[in-house]
C-alpha cells in the first residue's frame, strides 16, 4: 500500500512539473518529424501526379518545406535545444492514406484530385500545429520564434489555397466519370 502512495505522489509531482514550455518543445519535435516525413513524401506525390501544374506545386512545396525545416532548426537553436523529431503518428497516417490513394487510383483520372485531397490533409495538420505553436510562442515570450512560425503558417495557408484553386479550376472536374 505504501508503494502505491509513493507512486501516485511521484506521478503527481512529475505531472505538476510539466509546463507550457515543455508542451511547446514537445510539439516542435512533433512538427519537425512531420516536416521531414513530408519532405520525403512530396517527390513521390510529384512523380504520381499527371497534371504538370500539380507536379510543379508539389516541387515548389518541397522547396518551401526545406525552408520550414530550417526555420524549425533555428527555433530549436533559439531555445538552446537540439533539433530532434518525435514520431508523429498523425502525419504518418495522413501520408499512408496518400500512398494508398496513389496505389488505388494509379492511372485514374481521379488520381490528381486524390493527391490534392491528401496534400490538403497534410496542410491542414501543419496549419493547426503552426497556429498552436505560434500562440504558445507568443504566450511564452519567444518573439523570434513567433516570427518564424508566422512565416511558415503563412506559407502553409497559401499552399492550401493554391491547392484549392488548382482543384476547383480543373483537377476535380477531370476526375469525374463522363456521363
Least confident of 1-5, 95-99, 151-155: 1-5
Query: What does the pLDDT look like over 106-125, one tens digit per residue?
Result: 999 899 999 999 999 999 99
pTM: 0.85
Please report where in the chains the cell 510543379 appears, as a residue: 56
Question: Do the Cβ atoms of 61 and 159 come closer than 8 Å?
Answer: yes
pLDDT at 179: 38
Question: What is the rounded average pLDDT of the residues 88-110?
Answer: 95
SS3 assignment, position 31: helix
| Average pLDDT taken over every residue of the chain | 89
Sort residue 107 into left (φ over 0), alpha (ψ -120 to 50) or beta: left
How far apart, in whole angstroms, are the C-alpha atoms of residue 137 and residue 24?
Answer: 8
pLDDT top residue among 114 and 4: 114
Query: What does the pLDDT look like over 27-50, one tens digit per residue?
Result: 999 999 999 999 999 999 999 999
Question: What is the rounded average pLDDT of the residues 88-115?
Answer: 95
How far apart, in whole angstroms, are the C-alpha atoms of residue 163 and residue 169?
Answer: 10
Residue 2 confidence class, pLDDT cut points 50, 70, 90: very low
Amino acid at each position: 500500500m505504501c508503494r502505491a502512495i509513493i507512486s501516485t505522489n511521484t506521478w503527481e509531482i512529475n505531472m505538476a512539473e510539466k509546463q507550457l514550455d515543455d508542451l511547446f518543445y514537445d510539439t516542435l519535435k512533433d512538427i519537425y518529424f512531420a516536416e521531414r516525413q513530408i519532405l520525403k513524401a512530396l517527390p513521390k506525390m510529384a512523380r504520381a501526379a499527371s497534371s504538370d501544374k500539380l507536379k510543379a506545386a508539389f516541387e515548389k512545396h518541397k522547396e518551401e518545406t526545406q525552408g520550414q525545416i530550417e526555420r524549425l532548426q533555428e527555433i530549436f537553436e533559439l531555445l538552446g535545444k537540439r533539433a530532434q523529431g518525435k514520431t508523429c503518428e498523425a502525419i504518418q497516417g495522413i501520408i499512408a492514406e496518400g500512398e494508398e490513394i496513389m496505389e488505388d487510383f494509379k492511372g485514374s483520372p481521379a488520381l490528381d484530385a486524390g493527391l490534392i485531397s491528401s496534400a490538403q490533409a497534410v496542410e491542414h495538420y501543419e496549419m493547426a500545429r503552426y497556429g498552436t505553436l505560434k500562440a504558445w510562442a507568443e504566450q511564452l515570450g519567444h518573439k523570434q520564434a513567433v516570427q518564424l512560425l508566422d512565416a511558415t503558417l503563412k506559407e502553409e495557408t497559401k499552399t492550401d489555397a493554391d491547392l484549392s484553386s488548382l482543384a476547383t479550376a480543373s483537377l476535380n472536374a477531370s476526375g469525374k466519370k463522363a456521363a
